[in-house]
Structure 1
Amino acid sequence: MRILTVLISLFCAQTVLAQTTPVDSLAKAKQAKAKYDYNKLNLKNRANDHFLIQFGYDSWAGAPDSLRITGLGRHLNMYVMYDMPFKTNPQWSVAIGAGLGSSNIFFEKTDIRLTSTATSKSVAFRNVADTNHFKKYKLTNVWVEAPVELRWVKNPANPNKSFKIAIGAKVGTMISAYTKGKNLQSSAGNSIYGNKYTQKTKERSFFNGTRLAGTIRVGYGAFSLYGAYQVTGLFKEGAGPEVMPYSIGLSIGGL
């Protein structure tokens, strides 16, 4: 009698499983399909890096040692972006924008002559270690830029909680170039006018007015690692050293 009861119980359990398993599997399949049904996603108000702030390290590729570059060069970029997802697959999108980019390169015991003279038609980097020099000295360039990116995001409905990658380029026009020195010192290292004394010289005639750079971003959510390499020379041909600026840093996206 006990054996008959056990057999009946096993038969009933098998029957229930046979009835419920296909239904559960079908439900899961429908949920998986709905998850990737891009036509039902509302992407109008999604945050996908419509505003970008980028900052980090700057330097020059191909710079000779005679330029005496020192310290940590840095950049700060800010862009407003318009993101356009693909209708067939909104994991992919194209973004275009506009904004400002800057670069600061620091030098040690150097004087940069940005204005031409009767004997010099190019920028001059003078070693002034044996004479008066600034304790802190930098060259700054500022551009108005238009970046464009091809973007991919794992979760198009919520990019702020998803892995993402973007490759692209940016073209810019230079609006400012200047050197800035702080705390003029004698060759012995003594301050001449005090540590608050600064001197600024603006001139951009030696620089290429247009720059083109390739870019890449890889990250998660609002934060990405960012890199850029300028493919056009910083200086006009014959007007300065043949250097290519590059940047590595952090990109923060919002909105």
Structure 2
Amino acid sequence: MRKFAAYLIFTVFFIPAFGQDTTPAQSTGSLKRSGRPDIPGTFTLELGVNNASSKPSEFSLGFWGSRTLNVYYQYEMRILKSNFSFVPGIGFSMERFKFKNEYTLDYNGSSIVMISPTEAGRSDTRKSQLITNYIEVPVEITFRTNPEDPARSFKASIGGRVGYMFDSFTKIKYKENGEMKKLKDKQDYNLNKFRYGVSAKIGVGNFSLFGYYNLSDLFEKDKGILEDSQLKNFNTFTVGISLSSF
């Protein structure tokens, strides 16, 4: 998934810079544009950091290691001749949650618990993460001060997203007998397969700051993390930067 994302980012944002050139038209002597096709819509890349509200104490997250990469294709449709547009899209959201205490997820019967490196039998754990990947449909209403020139226009957006989780796993890096090892455990951990939330953006041209809040719980109903004999469920949120190609 990481290689796919890197390839897609390179294709969307770098190839267009080299794909266009101007050549003289034979009949008129004017300049004719050649290169990549004029694809309608925009490609959007979002980089953000994740956190959670009302989370269990053991679900303690590191700042930079808990990050999101979103890659969307969006099509902006201006509403009549107003400053507002309707912007649907589709794409991928790839999230990481890095645990500061190096705990990891495990099953306790049908419930999920956070266990320490010692309990997991890997006392020399260096990194522990939960990774979730979604296919998503973002929808936005965007206001621009100058819709005729979006590359130089101030903009603000509100909207929402609906997503389906197609992949989830924990990833642990630890040292054993002097050798560094990595362990990937691919399970669903009672995580919500479907999610939905609200989003907002503000920026200029192709650069924006964005925020996203999940209205759905991270885990399935009544299947959250077991802490002090109580099941705890909670929501996640992301803040970061958004870049678009026109």
Query: How far does residue 205 in structure 1 lie from its aligned partner after superposition?
Result: 5.2
Alignment deviations for residues 40-67 of structure 1 (CA, whole Å, 9 cap, x no partner)? xxxxxx9997211000211111112222
Query: How far does residue 97 in structure 1 lie from its aligned partner after superposition?
Result: 0.6
The answer to whether 1:216 aligns with 2:209 is no
Distance 1:223 1:235 in 2: 32
Query: 2:148 aligns to what SS in structure 1?
Result: coil
Residue among 89, 93, 117 paired with 1:101: 93
Larger helix share, 1 or 2: 1
Over 3 Å counting, the alpha-carbon distance change for 1:156 and 1:47 in structure 2 is farther
RMSD (Å), alpha carbons: 2.2
Percent identity (aligned): 25
TM-score (norm 1): 0.73
Instruction: Name the count of aligned residue pairs.
Output: 199
**Rg larger for:** 1
Matches within 5 A, 1:1-255: 50-72=42-64, 73-89=66-82, 91-107=83-99, 108-113=101-106, 116=107, 120-129=109-118, 132-133=122-123, 134-182=125-173, 184-185=174-175, 191-192=176-177, 194-195=179-180, 197-204=181-188, 206-240=190-224, 241-255=232-246
Distance 2:214 2:105 in 1: 22
Q: Is contact 1:47–1:254 with CA below 8 Å preserved after alignment?
A: no
Q: Is contact 1:57–1:248 with CA below 8 Å preserved after alignment?
A: yes
- Structure 1 unaligned regions, length at least 5: 1-45, 186-190
- Structure 2 unaligned regions, length at least 5: 1-37, 225-231
Q: Is contact 1:150–1:166 with CA below 8 Å preserved after alignment?
A: yes
Which ranges of 4 or more aligned residues in structure 1 deviate by more than 4 Å? 46-49
Query: 1:215 aligns to what SS in structure 2?
Result: strand
Query: How far does residue 68 in structure 1 lie from its aligned partner after superposition?
Result: 3.3
